[in-house]
């Protein structure tokens, strides 16, 4: 129910002062019955700030989101990347918050935070315990109204380097990382707001100065261009009062008008291309479509699903199923000003993209003959409903939804309209939008080919970007003045926090079936869904009995996602989609996971499908041949990716020859070639057993109701599965550098560490995690502040202990600028050595205790979080009071204990240092360090001679 209100909000005098009475309550939305709605109250402050409050007392957490209606679309030619650059600068301190204090304050409060930028908006958000509400709002207000004097040239330069590192990591150095940039600049006219990407161009980042950035802020970051959304364990009147106190006096910025749609127009197909360091060529066809919110958007979404999403799609059948490609998909992506319908195909190596384009066009013609079915519409509607419900699993999800709808639809309750749009889509609508936007229409056709393989292009480039007709935008930045708020209180004083909220650990029930299956469950009524996770122990570790067939656990899990005795893979997927459910089977290093997600109303039908998938696999030769080929291609593709190379080589050195954990979970080309279909059947029949399995269930269902539905699991026959003894791991005699050459890599991947200890919830492993927090476990850790914030070498650096049942490594890692590789190794080792010798400071100890101690409020909010928590309890046989014991350890651990742990668990003279980078760039400086340098190939085998020290 919606109540529209045009008068000033009426509150008691004790809640709001006369000066604050200018805040107007615009509307109040409540839930009626079981309707899908997010209740909220919407207010407008005198300075134009929109405030939305969602009250939800189910968990003692609060999510604060400030969304500014400014993204890269508000930028101008030659000054790209500003909105994203400012996302970084907004974390660099303001008048009353010191440099890097924003992360520290929120982390110390037990919260988490971040910011994101896209074409159309920038948002900043925190999830904190409910007693930290005032602190979160104080922080956001300070950077809205008191930022610019704190933006120094030095901070500007450091963050410019950080943004460059981000571009290097996520665009320039990532396979296919420039696809979006190439598509955008060739799809839209020169100067169109979408013709550049959010990250911007390096030359623009190099050209701008700090004053350009400040003017951008003054133009777009006023309260009148922002929506403040607060949700969770709050009272609306309290939020209104805090909003008025901290945001109310900030002056409005220049007026901002919504931009009008600017859909791309093409007169013919535009063929463009580039070469990349990839194994698979890529064909990307992009057709212009209308903007987000357009009446045709839902029908285009259905069309994308029919053409290229899931196993029932035409592109899956014609490309993946027929072994013409490793991947083929279609999507309709919409933004505020325009939309893009994209078709992406990655054919197998050596395939001409001209052939790929021909088959893609034949697939479109096939749709014309096939048409749209009732089941197509049913699948789309069921999945859309499920998606909307699952977005409400967390306060942050609900707040983000309200903020999005307010910013782009001027209606926080647009979820009702979205449901109507989804439910009203017809078969005729889908056919119409195909005819209108795709059939016979021109597209940007991008070819991405491996370096030196231009013979694979779909066609030679036929389009050159022209500046003809471009008119520079009118100046919007001259004469802008920075005016600060005038307050009647001391804004420099950080708000008090009040007592920590009482966090209730989820109550749960446990049982064990006669066949040995362990079951743990917790009831959660917040959304009408059920989440199930079945863990079957073994996974990759079982391959120690057959190392010459490593990768069989992964291949077996893949086969279980294919045909069953009563359904083809496509039929099975169709049944799941009609329910809005999912069943996924994956294999990891120590377990095979079966993950089930279902709406409560469809649980029985979903469990019937789970029984079919788990116990009646068909294991056809056709499916086996296709999945084996895909697995082999994936292994070969990893040899082109620096991150995968670094991880695989690091593991091989850690675990050593003869240890199954030294081999990637997907296996190697040689081991996977050895696997037969009979091997897969035997692996399944021998190792999938309830006696080594655990089931976690979280959702809108009680234990009694659940157990009635698990009869099919009670009939699961147990087998005698024994975990193999894994070979001993090698000792590290001394710290050495192991270099893998990745020619011309713009960044280097670094891994530093050793094999440490197994997981222990209340022992040394848990304590070591506390010890590492100040070293490399938080944004404000020593390692990240040094390499990212102080030096600008990386987008992010970290360290962590990753212990499982059988142990795990301590690792420090980062992707760094190629020209700062040796310097980064030096700084890593300097921080590790300093911490190992001298330990933690009193300030760091206080910070760690506060941060981890208050973070419990965020641990059990969503079904997946609860499932993860319960999964650890059942896997490690933890007592019900283990959380209390952890809290006691945290509260009582001393500086002396931390120092002793650092001295013991950071053996800086006996660690591996793996570097994957461009040898000609990095080798000279690495050789100048104090460590022996050993060269390896991409599989971790020693080549050439070592450079000894």
The superfamily (CATH) of domain 38-247 is Metalloenzyme, LuxS/M16 peptidase-like (3.30.830.10)
Buried-exposed string 6-21: b where 16+ CB fall within 10 A, e elsewhere: eeebebeeeebeeebe
Mean pLDDT of 620-625: 97
Q: How confident is the model at residue 8 (pLDDT cuts 50, 70, 90)?
A: very low
- What are 343-353's pLDDT values in tens digits? 999 999 999 99
Average pLDDT over residues 870-886: 92
- The residue length of the chain stands at 949
> How far is Cα 778 from Cα 827, in angstroms, rounded to an integer?
17
By C-alpha distance, which of 602, 530, 577 is closest to 383?
A: 577
Q: How confident is the model at residue 286 (pLDDT cuts 50, 70, 90)?
A: very high
Mean pLDDT of 361-378: 97
Other residues' Cβ atoms within 10 Å of the Cβ of residue 540: 24
Tokens of 16: 């709001």
Residue % of the chain over a pLDDT of 90: 85
Strands 226-232 and 50-55, bridge-based pairing: parallel
Angle at 362 between CA 356 and CA 365, to 5 degrees: 150
Q: What is the pLDDT of residue 854?
A: 86
Task: Specify the residue for token string 């951008």.
Answer: 216
Q: What are the backbone dihedrals phi and psi of residue 226, each rounded to the nearest 5 degrees, phi first?
A: -135, 155
* 775 secondary structure, DSSP code: I
317-345 tens-digit pLDDT: 999 999 999 999 999 999 999 999 999 99
**Where does the pLDDT of residue 504 fall: very low under 50, low under 70, confident under 90, or very high at 90 and above?**
confident
For residue 342, the SS3 value is strand
For the cut 80, the answer to whether the pLDDT of residue 15 exceeds it is no
Give residue 627's Cα distance to chain centre: 26
Report the 10 Å Cβ neighbour count for 879.
11
Q: Is the pLDDT of residue 12 over 80?
A: no
Helix locations, 52-194, DSSP H: 82-89, 101-108, 133-145, 153-167, 179-187
Cα 537 to Cα 559: distance, rounded to the nearest angstrom: 18
Q: What is the pLDDT of residue 860?
A: 86
Mean pLDDT value across residues 194-203: 94
Residue 20 in this model has a pLDDT that exceeds 70:
no
Q: At what angle do helices 842-854 and 882-892 cross, to 10 degrees?
A: 160
Q: Which residues, in sequence order, are CB contacts of 82 under 8 Å at separation 6+?
A: 72, 75, 200, 208, 212, 213, 216
Average pLDDT over residues 740-751: 94
Q: In what order do the strands lie in the sheet with 61-68?
A: 2-4, 24-29, 40-44, 50-55, 226-232, 61-68, 122-129, 112-117
* pLDDT surpassing 60 at residue 35: yes
Q: Give the pLDDT of residue 41.
A: 98
Tens of pLDDT, residues 904-939: 999 999 999 999 999 999 999 999 999 999 999 999
The answer on pLDDT for 131 being more than 60 is yes
Token couple for 888: 């006691």
- Whether 855 contacts 113, CB under 8 Å: no
**Cα–Cα distance measured from residue 136 to residue 125, given in angstroms and rounded to the nearest whole number:** 9
Tokens of 148: 């610019």
Pairwise CA distance, residues 547 & 550, whole Å = 5
Looking at domain 270-389+409-456, its CATH class is alpha beta
Give yes or no for a contact between 714 and 909, defined as CB atoms under 8 angstroms apart: no
Q: What are phi and psi of 941, to 5 degrees?
A: -90, 140
- Segment 363-386 mean pLDDT: 95
Looking at every residue in the chain, the average pLDDT score rounds to: 93
- Collapse the DSSP code of 697 into the 3-class scheme (helix H, G, I; strand E, B; otherwise coil) and give the result: strand
pLDDT band at 36 (very low <50, low <70, confident <90, very high): confident
CATH code of the domain made up of 736-862+880-936: 3.30.830.10
Token pair of 234 as six digits: 């709050």
What percent of the chain clears pLDDT 70, i.e. is strictly above it? 97
Cα–Cα distance measured from residue 756 to residue 254, given in angstroms and rounded to the nearest whole number:
57
Q: 10 Å Cβ neighbour count for 734? A: 10
Model pLDDT, residue 22: 83
Please tell me what DSSP assigns to residue 132.
G
CB-neighbour burial class of residue 494 (10 A; exposed 0-12, middle 13-18, buried 19+):
middle
CA distances 654 to 59, 482, 752, 839, Å, are 42, 55, 10, 26
**Is 568 exposed, middle or buried, given 0-12, 13-18 or 19+ CB atoms closer than 10 A?**
middle
pLDDT at 558: 98
DSSP 208-223: --HHHHHHHHHHH-SG
Every domain range in the chain assigned CATH 3.30.830.10: 38-247, 270-389+409-456, 509-714, 736-862+880-936
- Per-residue pLDDT at 948: 60
Residue labelled with tokens 């190939």: 937
Helices 882-892 + 764-772 axis angle, to 10:
50
- In the prediction, which pLDDT does 604 show? 97
Q: What is the pLDDT of residue 24?
A: 95
Q: What is the mean pLDDT of residues 506-510?
A: 93
DSSP helix/strand/coil, 448: strand
Helices first, then strands: H and E counts in the chain: 32, 25
Q: Over 50: is that where the pLDDT of 7 sits?
A: no
Task: Give residue 505's pLDDT band: very low, low, confident or very high (50, 70, 90).
Answer: confident
Q: What would the pLDDT profile of 223-278 be if each residue is shown by its tens digit?
A: 999 999 999 999 999 999 999 999 999 999 999 999 999 999 999 999 999 999 89
Whether pTM > 0.85 for this model: the answer is yes
1: confidence class by pLDDT, cuts 50, 70, 90:
low
Q: Exposed, middle or buried by CB within 10 Å (0-12, 13-18, 19+), for 727? A: middle
Q: What is the dihedral of CA 273, 274, 277, 281, to 10 degrees?
A: 10
The yes or no reply on domain 509-714 and CATH 3.90.1150.10 is no
Query: Residue 307: which residues within 8 A CB-CB, separation 6 or more?
Result: 313, 314, 315, 330, 343, 363, 364, 367
* pLDDT over 60 (residue 2): no
Question: 17 Cβ partners below 8 Å, 6+ apart?
Answer: none
> How far apart (Å, rounded) are the C-alpha atoms in residues 212 and 197?
19
Q: Which of 445, 112, 476 is nearest to 287 (CA)?
A: 445
**Which residue shows structure tokens 């101008």?**
76
């Amino acid at each position: 129910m919606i109540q529209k209100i045009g008068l000033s909000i009426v509150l008691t005098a004790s809640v709001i002062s006369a000066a604050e009475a200018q805040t107007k309550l615009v509307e109040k939305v409540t839930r009626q019955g079981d309707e899908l709605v997010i209740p909220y109250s919407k207010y407008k402050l005198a300075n134009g700030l929109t405030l939305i409050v969602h009250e939800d007392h189910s968990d003692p957490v609060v999510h604060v989101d400030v969304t500014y209606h400014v993204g890269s679309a508000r930028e101008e030619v030659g000054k790209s990347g500003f909105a994203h650059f400012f996302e970084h600068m907004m974390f660099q301190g303001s008048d009353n918050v010191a440099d890097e204090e924003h992360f520290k304050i929120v982390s110390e409060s037990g919260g988490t935070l971040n910011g994101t930028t896209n074409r159309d908006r920038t948002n900043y958000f925190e999830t904190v315990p409910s007693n930290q509400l005032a602190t979160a709002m104080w922080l956001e207000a300070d950077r809205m109204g008191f930022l610019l004097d704190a933006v120094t040239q030095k901070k500007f330069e450091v963050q410019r380097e950080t943004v460059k590192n981000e571009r290097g990591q996520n665009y320039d150095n990532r396979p296919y990382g420039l696809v979006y940039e190439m598509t955008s600049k060739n799809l839209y006219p020169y100067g169109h707001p979408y013709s550049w990407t959010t990250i911007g161009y390096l030359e623009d980042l190099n050209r701008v100065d700090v004053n350009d950035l400040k003017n951008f802020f003054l133009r777009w970051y006023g309260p009148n261009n922002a929506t403040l959304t607060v949700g969770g364990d709050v009272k609306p009147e309290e939020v209104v009062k805090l909003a008025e106190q901290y945001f109310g006096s900030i002056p409005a910025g220049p007026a901002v008008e919504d931009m009008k749609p600017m859909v791309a127009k093409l007169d013919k197909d535009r063929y463009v291309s580039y070469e990349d360091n990839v194994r698979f060529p890529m064909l990307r066809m992009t057709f212009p479509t209308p903007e987000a919110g357009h009446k045709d958007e839902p029908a285009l979404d259905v069309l994308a699903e029919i053409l290229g999403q899931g196993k029932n799609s035409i592109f899956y059948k014609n490309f993946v199923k027929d072994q013409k490609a490793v991947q083929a998909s279609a999507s309709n992506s919409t933004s505020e000003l325009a939309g893009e319908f994209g078709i992406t195909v990655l054919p197998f190596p050596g395939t001409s993209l001209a052939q790929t384009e021909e088959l893609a066009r034949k697939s479109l013609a096939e749709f014309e003959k096939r048409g749209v079915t009732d089941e197509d519409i049913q699948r789309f509607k069921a999945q859309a409903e499920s998606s909307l419900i699952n977005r409400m699993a967390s306060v942050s999800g609900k707040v983000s939804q309200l903020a999005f709808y307010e910013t782009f639809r001027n209606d926080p309750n647009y979820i009702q309209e979205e449901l109507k749009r989804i439910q009203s889509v017809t078969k005729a609508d889908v056919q119409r939008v195909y005819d209108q936007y795709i059939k016979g229409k021109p597209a940007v056709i991008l070819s991405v080919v491996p370096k030196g393989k231009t013979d694979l292009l779909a066609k030679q480039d036929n389009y050159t970007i022209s500046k003809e007709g471009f008119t520079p935008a009118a100046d919007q930045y001259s004469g802008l003045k920075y005016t600060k708020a005038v307050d009647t209180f001391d804004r420099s004083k950080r708000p008090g926090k009040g007592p920590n909220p009482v966090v209730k650990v989820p109550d749960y029930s446990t049982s064990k079936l006669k066949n040995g299956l362990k079951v743990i469950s917790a009831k959660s009524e917040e959304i009408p869904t059920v989440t199930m996770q079945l863990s079957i122990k073994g996974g990759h570790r079982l391959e120690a009995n057959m190392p010459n067939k490593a990768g069989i656990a992964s291949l077996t899990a893949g086969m279980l996602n294919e045909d069953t005795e009563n359904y083809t893979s496509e039929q099975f997927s169709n049944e799941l989609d009609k329910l809005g459910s999912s069943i996924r089977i994956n294999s990891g290093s120590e377990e095979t996971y079966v993950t089930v997600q279902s709406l409560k109303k469809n649980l029985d039908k979903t469990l019937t499908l789970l029984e079919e998938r788990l116990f009646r696999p068909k294991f056809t030769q056709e499916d086996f041949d296709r999945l084996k080929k895909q697995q082999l291609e994936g292994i070969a593709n990893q040899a082109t990716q620096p991150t995968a190379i670094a991880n695989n080589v690091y593991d091989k050195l850690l675990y050593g020859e003869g240890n199954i954990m030294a081999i990637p979970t997907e296996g190697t080309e040689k081991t996977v070639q050895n696997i037969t279909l009979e091997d897969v059947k035997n692996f399944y029949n021998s190792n999938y057993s309830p006696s080594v399995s655990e089931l976690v269930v979280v959702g809108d269902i009680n234990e009694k109701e659940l157990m009635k539905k698990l009869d099919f699991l009670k009939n699961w026959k147990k087998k005698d599965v024994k975990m193999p003894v894994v070979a001993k791991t090698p000792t590290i005699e001394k710290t050495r550098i192991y270099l893998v050459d990745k020619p011309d890599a713009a960044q280097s991947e670094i891994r530093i560490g050793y094999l440490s200890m197994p997981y222990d919830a209340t022992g040394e492993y848990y304590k070591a995690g506390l010890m590492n927090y100040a070293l490399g476990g938080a944004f404000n850790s020593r390692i990240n502040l040094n390499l990212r914030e102080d030096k600008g070498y990386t987008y992010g650096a970290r360290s962590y202990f990753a212990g499982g049942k059988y142990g795990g490594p301590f690792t420090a890692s980062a992707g760094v600028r190629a020209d700062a590789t040796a310097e980064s190794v030096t700084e890593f080792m300097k921080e590790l050595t300093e911490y190992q010798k001298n330990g933690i400071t009193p300030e760091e100890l206080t910070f760690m205790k506060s941060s981890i101690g208050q973070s419990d409020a965020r641990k059990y909010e969503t079904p997946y979080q609860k499932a993860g928590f319960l999964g650890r309890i059942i896997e490690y046989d933890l007592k019900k009071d283990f959380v209390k014991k952890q809290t006691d350890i945290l509260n009582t651990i001393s500086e002396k204990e931390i120092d002793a742990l650092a001295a013991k668990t950071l053996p800086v003279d006996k660690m591996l240092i793996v570097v994957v980078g461009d040898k000609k760039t990095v080798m000279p400086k690495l050789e100048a360090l104090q460590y022996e340098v050993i060269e390896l190939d991409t599989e971790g085998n020693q080549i050439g001679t070592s450079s000894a020290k």
